[in-house]
A and B are shown apart, each in its own frame.
Chain A
Amino acid sequence: MAPVETHTITALVQDRPGVLARIAGMFSRRGFNISNLAVGHSETPGLSRMTFVVEGDDWVVEQVTKHLYKLIDVVQVYDISAESIVLRELALLKVRSNAENRPEIIQIVDIFRASIVDVTKDSLVIEVTGDEEKVDALIELLRPFGLREVMRTGRIAMSRGSGTTGGRKGTKASVDQSAPDAEVVP
């Protein structure tokens, strides 16, 4: 199976009740697939920023963008897939652990520059940030120990450099997904 083409889209929307339902409804009604969605307040009071990961080709992304704009509550939409961007996701992972295997888990957590945020005698809660691939990889490594719970935020994205996200529309820089944590490595 060919890999599914995905695009990262961010939207600035009015922070009003029902806006998420409107957007989700539009996606389902028009048959667009969102594989990932994150919502939070933006730098401007009254506006929220959403980040979607949309499956589909350029035509789909164009349609998604136009239909988002058609919603009265949507202020601005950017397809930032072609920009140089930082992509992040936060995940909390609860793993079964005992005195015997704890050192091994700590070692894995260190390699991923993740952190342990809660410890009991039979469990660990691990916090990890990174792109989806990094989070996926950590999950797979921890699965054999007994993965009790996974919570993921969905992708958020920001352009690199001093410009604002989407401000350099049309730049053809490759998507910088393959260099996890490059900018935090000393």
Chain B
Amino acid sequence: MQLTGAQMVCECLVREGVSVLFGLPGGAILPFYQTLAEYPDLQHILVRHEQNAGHAADGYARASGKVGVVVATSGPGATNLVTPLATAMMDSVPIVALTGQVPRAAIGRDAFQETDTTGVTAPITKHNYLVMDTADIPRVMKEAFHIARTGRPGPVLVDLPRDVLTERAEFDYPDAINLRSYKPTLEGHAQQIKRAAKLVRDARRPLILAGHGVSISGAFAELQELAEKAQIPVITTLLGIGAFAGDHILSLGMPGMHGQAHNNWAIERSDLIIAVGMRFDDRVTGRLSAFAPNARIVHIDIDPAEVGKNVGVTVPIVGDARRVLHALTLEVEPATHADWLKEIDVLREEHPFVMPESERLLPQYVIREICEATDGRAIVVTGVGQHQMWTAQHYVFKEHNSWITSGGLGTMGFEVPAAMGAAFACPERTVWSIAGDGGFQMTFSELATIAEHRVPVKFAIINNNSLGLVRQLQDLFYDRNRVSVEYSGNPDFVKLAEAYGIWAVRVSDKADVRQAIDDASAVDGPAIIDFRVEREENVYPHVPAGGSVFEMIEGPPTPTAEDVPAWRP
């Protein structure tokens, strides 16, 4: 069957089960767009900025577990994908990005809207392709989806020169994938699993550190079985939240920089850490030399390059989290670890994680109310900053695959388009975007798309008129020298919403919080709540960057509300 390159791309997308694409057209990718009309099964969502298309594909992928697809044109269209690709790369999210490129003969001549897209994106994609022969499209597309979704998932970019899209060639769709250089290890090494089980048997203070890999491999039941069989408490990293039920008796919460203090103390005392699908990020470990000084480490990860990268490992196990956890659970002996669990309870009492009490509108209160109103069962999307950490601390997730946040890259503005993508993936579920006023203003151009499609995302803007976490760093570590963190010119978000035809309300009073959440939930379509929260509130605990549990700041020094430093532009 002879097809154009553009038709081939569409055929491949259909065969991969793609139903939604996020994108924005331009000259080089136009042949693809002109062909889309022939494929009614492919719904294209026209965005306002390619970065948002990338994050939407990311949110779509995280919520659905499927590969997200983003389309952009050459040059600026492609460079606008840099941030979302880097975000997806850091957080192991499967995305296929299709970018237009100038015609083959023009490549390298600095043609209009030409960029070396594969060169620019090489370090922020799992793999990328520049297709120079139309007949290669079926193989490349099949490989791209395979690479994106298997092993440690990640973004794959396919760069398509304009004339490769228009040229006709025989459509020869491969039955199988033959990548001799890419064969992820799925089964853990049996001997290593036995060694790990032996360490579990001998451990007196074992901990499980569960990361994003548990969710990606769908190892929820396997993780719970291991934890329950050997009575091992579970700490979930930022992206591991939701991998283990937050209300389970063995669930301890989050470790690291803004994790609950008892977790960092438990890690300090632990004699065995079973790390699953996590990568010992510096926000988890702090200073490596002081991290878990008494613990031997079993590291289970599908990416061999993560094992031994940051911390020394006693037993490395490369493999898929679900299979390895299942095999490990069969090997470990039942245990109670009663003394250790008691010790952790004492740690919790000594280092309580308390909800600050105040008559004023505290951001933590807002998040707890959203959690209560949604029974911990919404899909919750955040960007990066204080609002993100408070959500991680105070929203107790009862469902898997419901927590979508930019963890590794820490991308402000992620919360708006990623929430839109999640809502397209799961139309039957409630999606809340808990946004910072800073991040929201980076990407709120997507409100137009959200309004057009009546995407039922509920936005809670945690509005403190500032870049809160940066202000917190200045307060704690730069002598309260507040520079370039105040957003005194924020728009009226309610009027802004009105401009888009989106329902909105402002809340400044604690008493009005729940009503506003319920009203927003009742709206058939998108809704925005502008929560004018206490702006001096900080995220605690706070382990200074490069510090250890011994330098952890567990709470505010003394109430100093009157003693507010000057804000400098």
Contacts and interface: CB of A to CB of B under 8 A. Distances in A.
A72 B178 CA distance: 12
A69 B179 contact: no
A73 B118 contact: no
B127 A72 contact: yes
B179 A72 contact: yes
Given A21-B122, A25-B122, A63-B309, A72 B181 contact: yes
Contact of B123 (A18, A25, A69, A75): A25
Chain A contact patch, size range: 20 to 34
Given A21-B119, A75-B180, A66 B305 contact: yes
Chain B contact patch, size range: 10 to 19
B313 to A, nearest CB: 11
Given A17-B130, A18-B130, A74-B181, A69 B122 contact: no
Q: In this complex, which of A29, A63, A72, A75 has the most chain B Cβ atoms within 10 angstroms of its Cβ?
A: A72
Interface string B108-144: 0000000000110011001100100000000000000
A70 B119 contact: no
Contact of B122 (A14, A22, A75): A22
Interface string A29-42: 10000000000000
A168 interface: no
A62 B308 contact: yes
A43 to B, nearest CB: 15
Contacts of A71: 127
A148 interface: no
B304 A69 contact: yes
Interface in A67-83: 67, 69-75
Interface in B304-318: 304-305, 307-309
Nearest to B308: A62
A69 B127 contact: no
Nearest to B126: A72
Interface in B150-192: 179-182
Contacts of A69: 304-305
Nearest to B179: A72
Contacts of B303: 70
A64 to B, nearest CB: 10
Chain A interface main SS type? helix
B144 to A, nearest CB: 10
Contacts of A72: 126-127, 147, 179, 181-182
A18 B305 contact: no
Contacts of A63: 305, 308-309
B118 A18 contact: yes
Interface string B23-36: 00000000000000
Given A17-B130, A72-B179, A66 B147 contact: no
Nearest to A28: B123
Contacts of B182: 72
A66 B304 contact: yes
A29 B123 contact: yes
Contacts of A74: 181
Interface of A: 13-14, 17-18, 21-22, 25-26, 29, 59, 62-63, 66-67, 69-75
22 contacts: A18-B118, A18-B119, A18-B122, A18-B130, A21-B119, A25-B122, A29-B123, A59-B308, A62-B308, A63-B308, A63-B309, A66-B305, A66-B309, A67-B305, A69-B304, A70-B305, A71-B127, A72-B147, A72-B179, A72-B182, A74-B181, A75-B180
Given A14-B181, A72-B182, 12 more contacts: A21-B122, A25-B123, A29-B123, A66-B304, A66-B309, A69-B304, A69-B305, A70-B303, A70-B305, A72-B126, A72-B181, A73-B181
Question: Shortest 4 CB-CB distances between A and B: which pairs?
Answer: A66-B305, A75-B181, A72-B127, A70-B305
